[in-house]
Amino acid sequence: MGKVRWEQSYEGDQLVVKEIHKVVVHRFRMGDVEDPDLYAAEPLYKWQESDSGKFVMEHAIDKPIWHRQLDQFSYGYEYAIEAELEMKKLSEFYLRWGPIDGHSKIWR
Note if the pTM is more than 0.85.
no
Q: Where are the alpha helices (DSSP H) in the chain?
A: 36-49, 51-59, 87-97
Tens-place pLDDT, residues 8-26: 878 888 888 888 999 999 9
- Indicate the domain borders of the chain: 3-102
Tens-place pLDDT, residues 70-94: 988 888 999 999 999 999 999 999 9
Residues linked to residue 30 through DSSP beta bridges, in sequence order: 77
